[in-house]
Structure 1
């Protein structure tokens, strides 16, 4: 469903919408009152997310991409402009799997595993490229190991894309990065990048963006234990709890 700018409408107060008719077995009046208070905040959060998305869409034109970067794709060399395919929007994710790593970042892998399942839907709207600095054969080998079917992988080992758009240094570690590019009349521009990280993190919180791009955290945030402070996804587990 397309987002609508809530600032262009007269909205009912969230408190009025939050008088939920839902009742669950055994719940107390205290629980229902607190739950409706929370529901009002959830409605306000949804509205704020919509306002931020509208503000993002209204950004002025970003910078023209300085070069048509050449990548190594799964089927051979591919330029950044070619990654768009038939779309006018390209989303790129910098995968933390540079040549200095034997195995990729487990957090990136958890994220990309979720996106692989969503990719047939995502690709109906925009192009999406997963970019790592390791050789393409190394990236593809892990893709096969993981059973990913739909992600499109590209090696940036021969260009400066990661340095230019993920703030990586050649001899340093990897940085995760989301970037969005647009193409119009043959001109490719940078539209938006995720810029929240350690420098913008609040005390006691792991660095995160907003909205959080990790589906796993969205699910865990709805539970009493939350996301926790000392747990991260692993690349593989000895046993899977049942």
Structure 2
């Protein structure tokens, strides 16, 4: 609990709180409608045909790009940062993976979700078991996939999410997001956004005296917190 001598939200009656809450909910609804409009615009984006054939290594052997779809029309690929020489996967990407939905809900809408990384499949399998994940994870170690889609560059590994549409045996890339765009894939951030302290990072506008740290220094893999 913050020190009451430090700046904090005003304490009011329940009636006053409901008035303030309803005013905020009006603004939240505006943001929701704006996001609906943005989603509609995203659905109208042009798409580009994937011309190369890629092969990936999975837990049960090699698979083609087409096989990643699992027979479905749509595919979401999360580009998980895990370079071949790393001892563990990216902690931020691990947050995203922790919050991934049960695939049955996506399958009901003709959509598959997989993760792809450059690390060899044995490393991915070991880390997946450690984290307790069930999302399919494939290695692009022996292909140019990461380079062609801009998530491995001369500067190093990048995270992101690519969306693909299948028309028969033809594959098209329809969307990509990286950086903070992936936060909406990992609800842990959006849960924290609901709380009074927020993410507790210095870039946020919070009352004076609220607990805050630099970003990216506090988050851990879920089995590494000292709680």
User: Structures share a fold, TM > 0.5?
Assistant: yes
Structure 1 equivalent of residue 105 of structure 2: 121
Stretches of structure 1 lacking an aligned partner (at least 5 in a row):
1-25, 198-207
Q: Give the structure with the higher percent strand.
A: 2
Query: Cα distance, 1:191 vs. partner?
Result: 0.7
Aligned pairs for 1:87-236 (under 5 A) are: 87-115=72-100, 118-125=102-109, 126-148=111-133, 150-169=134-153, 172-195=155-178, 197=179, 208-209=180-181, 212-229=184-201, 230=214, 232-235=218-221, 236=223
Please give the TM-score of this superposition, normalised by the length of structure 2.
Answer: 0.81
Query: Cα distance, 1:135 vs. partner?
Result: 0.5
Structure 1 equivalent of residue 36 of structure 2: 50
**How many residues are matched?**
200
**Does the Cα contact within 8 Å between 1:166 and 1:176 map onto a contact in 2?**
no
Stretches of structure 2 lacking an aligned partner (at least 5 in a row):
1-11, 202-213
1:64 and 2:64 equivalent?
no
**Higher RCO, 1 or 2 (CA under 8 Å, sep at least 6)?**
2
**Does the Cα contact within 8 Å between 1:97 and 1:103 map onto a contact in 2?**
yes
Please give the TM-score of this superposition, normalised by the length of structure 1.
Answer: 0.76
State the alpha-carbon separation in 2 of the partners of residues 238 and 184 from structure 1: 44
Distance 1:71 1:225, change over 3 A: same
Distance 1:67 1:215, change over 3 A: same
Q: Which among 17, 22, 26 is matched to residue 31 of structure 1? A: 17
SS state at 1:67 partner: coil
Query: Cα distance, 1:66 vs. partner?
Result: 2.0
State the alpha-carbon separation in 2 of the partners of residues 74 and 234 from structure 1: 26
**Does the Cα contact within 8 Å between 1:73 and 1:155 map onto a contact in 2?**
yes
**Does the Cα contact within 8 Å between 1:182 and 1:191 map onto a contact in 2?**
yes
**Does the Cα contact within 8 Å between 2:68 and 2:75 map onto a contact in 1?**
yes
1:237 and 2:224 equivalent?
yes
State the alpha-carbon separation in 2 of the partners of residues 103 and 90 from structure 1: 25
Distance 1:124 1:49, change over 3 A: same
Query: Cα distance, 1:130 vs. partner?
Result: 0.5
Give the RMSD, CA atoms, in angstroms: 1.9
SS state at 1:212 partner: helix
